[in-house]
Structure formats: C-alpha cells, structure tokens
Amino acid sequence: MSPTVTTSANENVSAATASAAASAAATAEATGPQTITMAKALNTAMADAMREDTSVLVFGEDVGLLGGVFRITDGLMAEFGEQRCFDTPLAESGIVGMAVGMAMNGMRPVIEMQFDAFAYPAFEQIVSHVAKMHNRTRGALKMPLVIRVPYAGGIGGVEHHCDSSESYYAHTAGLKVYTPATVADGYRMLREAIDSDDPIMFMEPKKLYWSKDQVDLDALRAEHAANAAGGTSTEGRAAIARPGTEATLIAYGPSVPTALAAAAAAAEEGRSLEVIDIRSIVPFDDETVCASVRKTGRAVVIAEAHGFASVSSEIVARVQERCFHHLAAPVLRVTGFDVPFPSPKLEHYYLPSVDRILDAVDDLQWED
C-alpha cells in the first residue's frame, strides 16, 4: 500500500497551474480602484486568506482544477497546491463532517456546497455538529469553519439549483449566517467569515456572482488588516445601502439590488425610500434596522425565500416588537410564494420584483 496515494489524480493539473497562477498573481499585484465581479472578490478573499494562514483550506466538489462550477475557487489549487485546495468525493455530508474534524484539529476549512439544495445531505452534520460542537464542549472546541452556499434564484436554474435555504440555517442556534450583496462586501465579509472562530454559513447570492463594481482591493485589504489588528470587525452590522426618509426597504443578499431599483423608481415619483442591506442575518443588527424604521415610520421586508416561518417573518416580528409606537402602518413583506421554487420560465412570477415592492410601499397607509 503506497503511503503517497492521496487525492485524485489529474494530468491537467500542471497545465492549469501556469495560467491560473498567472491570473492569481495578477490579482495580487493589482492596485487602485478596478472593476471586478463579486466572483472575483470572493476568489480574492480566499486567496488572500490562504496566503496569510496555511491552516486555511478550500475543498468541495469541482473546486480544484475546474475552479468550482461558478469559478469562485479559480486558480486556488494552482497557487496553493492540491493539499490546500482539493476536490473531494461527491458527498456533502462527508465534506462537512471532514471539515468538522479538521476544524477540531487546527485547520480553518472553507468548504463549498455546490448548490443550495445540494447542501441538504449535510444538514445533520451542520445542525448536530457544526452548530453544537462549541456549546457541547463548553468552548473547548472551536469551529472556525466557513460553509459557502451559492443560493437563491434569478439565474434560470433547473430544480434544486435555486433554493433560498437561509432560514434553515438562521433557525439553528450556533450558526452565524452572512450574505453579501455588494462586490466589496463579497471580499470584506468572506475575510471576516474565515477569520471568525465561529462557524459561518456564507450564503452567496448566485445571481450576483457576475455583478460588477469598482472596488479598491488594496484598500479592502488594508481595511481588513486594520480590523484584524484592532480586533474590530463589522460582524453583524447592517448597512444603509441608500438613505431615504419616508419608508424603509429591508433586504438582504439577492434582494438588495431589487430593493435599490425600487427605491430609485420611487424617487422618480418623488418618494424617498431608505434601503437597508442586512448583510448578516445572524447576528442580526436590530439597532440599524430599528433606527431606520423609527425614522421613517414605515417598512417593507423583501426576501426571495418563502415568506412563511422565514427570515422575513423574523424581521417583521423584531421590528414590530421594537418599533410599534413609531409605525404608521403595518410592516409588509414582499417574498417568494409558499411554493417550491419554480421552473425557469415561471421564476419571475415568484421572485420579488420592483413593481411588487412599489405596490407594497403604496399600501403603507399613506392616506393618513
């Protein structure tokens, strides 16, 4: 039995190494503001974390040579070798369970679930171990583990490729749930997730992977270094994505751009809407959300997921509990219907749209 037999063999590894390493190097050298995609921001975050800390490992299905089905791990195997970025057998519970053991033994795994609905075989490991190990051991075992989940719709995907699964994880005590909506947050929040000693469900809105923005990666790196040095982070902080005065649109992940488009359309009609980007579902930023609602007196929560027993229902409950006397109207929601995620030709009927958001805003009892 050869002790040198380890991960799967592939003759194309070395061929890919040169080109991918070159592209990774190009990213590392880039300075000043540049237009990049969220995919590139996430990729750069992992590469930077792996350069800084050899205990950071990336693995999952097709994340090696292929660079992931969404190319988010592109070039990592080439730069860091097959020991630190590798493909596993096709088994999600195995991926998460092995990551738990690695986290117990000094590593900081960053693992990819290929699609939202493909993460379900790992549910037991996530709920019963990832979420509970720290508590079970009274903090003796930390779980510095990031589970990246491409999620939600808007890409015309076939069934099982578009689920909004964030509520399952948000409902599980012991997990933190992040979801970036901007290119800069893609970098910033993934770095924070990898730095965290707590397990993070990192929900990546797949329809935003190819969204572009001008960001200064060096400035983001400097910001990350300063936060890491000062022990400060923006964990659990929501952002005001667009300031406004008359009503608050509360959104996260894939719904943030839709909410911003709705606010822009409302502005043309002379109505000023504030848009809050939740960023971190767990922990939740009651302070920022409630400050906005107290100011505007009206709110609509927007989420792609089914509304029933969901993150959106939680947000409505929290706002109602904390802002009741400031509300001029009931807090409304624009969410996915309580139906299984639709087929590609039907998904636009299901997803929150600008019109549906504006209709909800119109219903906020303005006649008073």
By CB under 8 A, name the one of 2, 31, 230, 270 that touches other proteins: 2
Q: Among 252, 293, 253, 303, which Cα is nearest to 273's? A: 293
Scanning residues 270 to 289, which ones bind other proteins (CB under 8 A)?
Answer: 282-284, 286-287
Torsion (CA) 241, 255, 235, 92 in degrees, nearest 10: -160
By CB under 8 A, name the one of 120, 134, 216, 294 that touches other proteins: 134
| Residue (109 or 205) nearer to other proteins, CB | 109
CB 335 to other proteins: min, Å: 22
By CB under 8 A, name the one of 22, 25, 139, 365 that touches other proteins: 139
What amino acid occupies position 143? Answer: M
CB 127 to other proteins: min, Å: 10
Instruction: Give CA–CA dist 222/62, Å, rounded.
Output: 31
Q: Is 196 in the site for other proteins (CB under 8 A)?
A: yes
Number of residues that bind other proteins (CB under 8 A): 67
Torsion (CA) 330, 154, 281, 296 in degrees, nearest 10: -30
Encoded tokens for 116 = 């939202």
CB 281 to other proteins: min, Å: 11
Q: Is 245 in the site for other proteins (CB under 8 A)?
A: no
For residues 249 and 241, is the Cβ–Cβ distance under 8 A?
Answer: no
Q: Is 141 in the site for other proteins (CB under 8 A)?
A: yes
For residues 49 and 194, is the Cβ–Cβ distance under 8 A?
Answer: yes
CB 173 to other proteins: min, Å: 6
CB 184 to other proteins: min, Å: 22
Q: Is 317 in the site for other proteins (CB under 8 A)?
A: no
Q: Which residue has the tokens 């800069």?
A: 184
In the chain, which residue ranges form alpha helices assigned H by DSSP? 12-29, 38-52, 76-80, 92-104, 123-124, 133-136, 166-170, 183-195, 217-230, 255-268, 286-296, 311-323, 347-350, 354-362
Residue 129 is a catalytic residue: no
Instruction: Give CA–CA dist 207/58, Å, rounded.
Output: 22
CB 231 to other proteins: min, Å: 10
Return the SS3 of 253: coil
For residues 252 and 311, is the Cβ–Cβ distance under 8 A?
Answer: yes
By CB under 8 A, name the one of 27, 34, 93, 227 that touches other proteins: 93
Catalytic pick among 161, 171, 224, 326: 161
| Residue (10 or 37) nearer to other proteins, CB | 10
**Which residues form the catalytic set?**
161
Q: Which residues bind other proteins (CB under 8 A)?
A: 1-11, 13-14, 54-55, 57, 81-84, 86, 88-89, 91, 93-94, 96-107, 121, 124-125, 128-129, 132-142, 173-174, 176, 196-198, 235-236, 282-284, 286-287
